């Protein structure tokens, strides 16, 4: 049985990955190392918490001693590093923890992987490292890295650190760069869950700037299927873009959510733009499609409906989140609206 260290497995994408792998595979043992920041939630893992091929460790990837202990104890075959501070707006409010978790944390995992030896290190990165596109064109793996936010620059730094471990030490590192994800268990600071929940609560929907910024959306399970394929077939030292070619203007996503929930467009409120707001992201995923045989399976219309349904059926999940700390964050970012 191959053993995988999955970091950040209590967050949105990581918990979907853990649930997906434990449901579909019986040849992999997962150790989930997660600090349980505001974004980590063990409720996401209720279905698998007692699974025989699963173990949860609460801890920080920047903790050298803990990481060393886990590598010694489990002799991991693979590392998949999902753990990160992931929200652009929070990185604008304060960048230090982004540097610590995303850059220093990745470095601690790379050093341990080098010391103990592993078969593959998958660094989960983002299309945001490429910066912003004009009205045309797509990010390819050879697009120069040119991040604009403290979040994306911390992700770019960790990518480069990871690639340097391949070039310098021969560590089998693979980088994935995915576009915007949506699906169950996404923390309601991100566009889609925020707009669903505010609509349901009759609150204003804060759209930044003119609402015409473009994001390229992929369903979280398609992303995780790609990660599984990269884990097994990805070539060391390579970068793979992941995306479903589903570009949408923000305002159109917001209007779509309102219409599915039969709520009035009057809830939309244009607010001050995000500082340094990237205008457009769009991913060319032909490399992973041609070389590794992955392609997206979920179409946007069905998967967004299922996602909205999930938030309707799981009110307890998000009602437990949007209290206390969340309210403080919300007020800092959006004021009293």
Query: In whole angstroms, what is the distance from residue 219 CA to residue 265 CA?
Result: 25
Helix or strand or coil: residue 80? Answer: strand
Picked from ligand NAD, ligand TDX, none, the partner binding residue 120 (CB below 5 to 8 A depending on kind) is none
Q: Looking at the chain, which runs of residues are DSSP E strands?
A: 2-7, 28-34, 54-58, 78-81, 120-126, 173-178, 180-182, 205-208, 214-219, 239-242, 247-249, 268-271
Under the binding rule (CB under 6 A), the answer on residue 37 touching ligand NAD is: yes
Show the tokens assigned to 127.
């299309």
Structure tokens at 51: 């699974």
Of 118 and 241, which has the nearer Cβ to ligand TDX?
241
Q: Which does 88 bind (CB under 5 to 8 A by kind): ligand NAD, ligand TDX, none?
A: ligand TDX
The verdict on 149 binding ligand NAD (CB under 6 A) reads: no
Reply yes or no on whether 127 is catalytic: yes
Residue 191 site contact among ligand TDX, ligand NAD, none (CB < 5 to 8 Å, cut-off depends on kind): ligand TDX
Select from ligand TDX, ligand NAD, none the partner in contact with residue 207, using the beta carbon and a kind-dependent cut-off of 5 to 8 Å.
Answer: ligand TDX
For residue 147, what are the β-bridge partners?
none
Does 191 contact ligand NAD by CB under 6 A? no
Tokens 């219409």, located at residue = 259
Closer Cβ to ligand NAD, 101 or 250, answer by number: 101
Beta-carbon neighbour count of residue 181 at 10 Å?
A: 23
Strands 173-178 and 239-242: parallel
Minimum Å distance from CB 13 to ligand NAD? Answer: 4
Q: Which does 35 bind (CB under 5 to 8 A by kind): ligand NAD, ligand TDX, none?
A: ligand NAD
The one catalytic residue in 60, 128, 216, 278 is 128
Q: List, as one string, the DSSP characters of 10-30.
A: TSHHHHHHHHHHHHH-SSEEE
Q: How far is the CB of 302 from ligand NAD (least distance, A)?
A: 19
Residues that bind ligand TDX (CB under 6 A): 86-88, 126, 128, 180, 190-191, 194, 206-208, 213, 215, 250, 274
Considering only 4, 5, 6, 13, the residue that binds ligand NAD (CB under 6 A) is 13
**130 has catalytic annotation:** no
Report 59-78 residues binding ligand NAD (CB under 6 A): 60-62
* Among ligand TDX, ligand NAD, none, partner that 8 touches (CB below 5 to 8 angstroms by kind): ligand NAD
Cα separation of 164 and 170, whole Å?
9
121 closest CA partner among 137, 108, 138: 108
Using CB under 6 A as the binding criterion, the count of chain residues that bind ligand NAD stands at: 30
Return the residue of 124, 133, 231, 303 that touches ligand NAD, per CB under 6 A.
124
159 is catalytic: no
- Identity of the residue, 70 or 180, whose beta carbon is nearer to ligand TDX in the bound complex: 180
75 class by beta-carbon count within 10 Å (0-12 exposed, 13-18 middle, 19+ buried): exposed
Q: Which of 151, 219, 311, 330 is catalytic?
A: 151
Tell me the CA end-to-end span of the chain in Å, nearest whole number: 52
The residue among 212 and 236 lying less far from ligand TDX, judged by its C-beta, is 212
The token pair at 312 is: 């309707």
Show the site string, 89-118: x = touches ligand NAD by CB under 6 A, - = not: ------------x---x-------------
Instruction: State the SS3 of 54-73.
Output: EEEEECCCCCHHHHHHHHHH
Residue owning tokens 């938030």:
311
Check residue 271 and report its DSSP letter.
Answer: E
Catalytic residues: 127-128, 151
Q: Which residues bind ligand NAD (CB under 6 A)?
A: 7-8, 10-14, 34-37, 39-40, 60-62, 82-86, 101, 105, 124, 126, 155, 178, 180-181, 187
């Amino acid at each position: 049985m191959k053993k995988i260290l999955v970091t950040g497995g209590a967050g949105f994408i990581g918990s979907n990955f853990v649930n997906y792998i434990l449901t579909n595979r019986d040849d992999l043992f997962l150790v989930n190392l997660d600090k349980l920041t505001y974004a980590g939630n063990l409720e996401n893992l209720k279905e698998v918490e007692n699974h025989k091929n699963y173990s949860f460790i609460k801890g920080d990837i920047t903790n050298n001693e803990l990481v060393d202990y886990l590598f010694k104890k489990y002799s991991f075959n693979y590392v998949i590093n999902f753990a990160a501070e992931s929200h652009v707006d929070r990185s604008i409010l304060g960048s230090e923890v982004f540097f610590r978790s995303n850059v220093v944390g990745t470095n601690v995992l790379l050093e341990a992987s080098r010391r103990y030896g592993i078969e593959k290190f998958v660094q989960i990165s983002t299309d945001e490292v490429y910066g912003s596109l004009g009205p045309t064109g797509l990010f390819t793996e050879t697009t120069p890295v040119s991040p604009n936010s403290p979040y994306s620059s911390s992700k770019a730094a960790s990518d480069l650190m990871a690639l340097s471990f391949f070039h310098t030490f021969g560590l089998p590192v693979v980088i994935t760069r995915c576009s915007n994800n949506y699906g169950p268990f996404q923390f309601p600071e991100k566009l889609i869950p925020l707009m669903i929940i505010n609509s349901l609560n009759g609150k204003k929907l804060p759209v930044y700037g003119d609402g015409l910024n473009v994001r390229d959306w992929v369903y979280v399970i398609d992303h995780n299927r790609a990660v599984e394929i990269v884990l097994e077939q990805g070539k060391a030292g390579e970068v793979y873009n992941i995306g479903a070619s589903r570009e949408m203007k923000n305002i159109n996503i917001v209007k779509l959510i309102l219409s599915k929930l039969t709520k009035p467009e009057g809830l939309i409120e244009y607010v001050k733009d995000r500082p340094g707001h990237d205008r457009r992201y769009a991913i060319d995923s032909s490399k992973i499609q041609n070389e590794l045989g992955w392609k997206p399976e979920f179409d946007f219309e069905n998967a967004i409906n299922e996602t909205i349904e999930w938030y309707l059926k799981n009110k307890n999940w998000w009602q437990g989140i949007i209290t206390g700390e969340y309210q403080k964050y919300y007020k800092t970012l959006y004021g009293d609206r």
